[in-house]
Structure 1
Amino acid sequence: MQVAWGAATDAGGRRSANEDAVLAQPPVFLVADGMGGHVHGAMASATVVRTFAEFSDGWHPDVEVHGEDVLAAIHTAQARIRTELSERGGGTITAGSTVAGAVLTGHEGAPYWLVFNVGDSRVYRFSDRALVQVSVDHSVMQEMLDAGSLQPDQVAVFTHKHVITRAVDSGSDTTADFWLLSAGTRERLVLCTDGLLDEISEEQIAEVLAEQPLASAAADTLLAAAIQGGARDNVSVVVVDLAGAGELAHTAPRVDGGSSSEALGTTLPREQVMPTEGSA
Structure 2
Amino acid sequence: MPEASTQTRTVALENGPLELAWASATHRGRRRDANQDAVLASFPLFIVADGMGGHIGGEIASASTVDRLRSVAETGTVNPKAIEKALARAVKDIASHPGTTDDGTGTTLTGVYLDVTGTDAHWVTLNIGDSRVYLVRDGSIVQITTDHSVVQELVAAGRLSPEEAENHPYGNVITRAVGPSDSVTPDYVRLDVTDGDRFVICSDGLTKELTDYGIQHFLAENPDPASAVEAMLGAALENGGRDNITIIVLNVGHQDAQEDEGDTEPVVASSPAGD
Residue 98 of structure 1 and its aligned partner are, at CA, apart by 0.3
Count of equivalent residues = 257
Partner residue of 1:125? 135
Give the alignment partner of residue 220 of structure 1, picking from 230, 236, 249. 230
- Greater RCO structure (CA 8 Å; 6+ sep): 1
Comparing 210-219 with 223-232, greater Cα deviation is found at 223-232
Partner residue of 1:163? 173
Contact 1:31 / 1:192 at 8 angstroms: preserved in 2? yes
Q: Output the CA distance in 1 between the equivalents of 2:85 and 2:102.
A: 26
The C-alpha deviation readout for 1:38-96, integer Å capped at 9, x for no partner, is 4111111111111111121112xxx4x43222222222211111111xx34x7655421
Residue 131 of structure 1 and its aligned partner are, at CA, apart by 0.7
Residue 246 of structure 1 and its aligned partner are, at CA, apart by 7.3
Q: Which runs of 5+ in 2 are unaligned?
A: 1-17
Measured at CA, do residues 248 and 270 of structure 1 come closer, stay the same or move farther in structure 2, by a change above 3 Å? farther
Pairwise CA RMSD = 2.2
Measured at CA, do residues 38 and 228 of structure 1 come closer, stay the same or move farther in structure 2, by a change above 3 Å? farther
Matched, 1:150 2:167: no
**1:221 aligned counterpart, secondary structure:** helix
Q: Output the CA distance in 2 between the equivalents of 1:19 and 1:10.
A: 10
Residue 273 of structure 1 and its aligned partner are, at CA, apart by 8.2
Partner residue of 1:27? 44
Partner residue of 1:197? 207
The C-alpha deviation readout for 1:166-207, integer Å capped at 9, x for no partner, is 001112211210011112221111100001011111111001
Measured at CA, do residues 229 and 190 of structure 1 come closer, stay the same or move farther in structure 2, by a change above 3 Å? closer
Residue 133 of structure 1 and its aligned partner are, at CA, apart by 0.5
Matched, 1:242 2:242: no
Residue 238 of structure 1 and its aligned partner are, at CA, apart by 0.3
Give the alignment partner of residue 86 of structure 2, picking from 64, 73, 76. 73
- Percent identity, please: 35
Q: Which runs of 5+ in 1 are unaligned?
A: 251-261
Contact 1:44 / 1:169 at 8 angstroms: preserved in 2? yes
Partner residue of 1:141? 151
Measured at CA, do residues 244 and 202 of structure 1 come closer, stay the same or move farther in structure 2, by a change above 3 Å? closer
**1:23 aligned counterpart, secondary structure:** strand
Q: Output the CA distance in 2 between the equivalents of 1:14 and 1:57.
A: 34
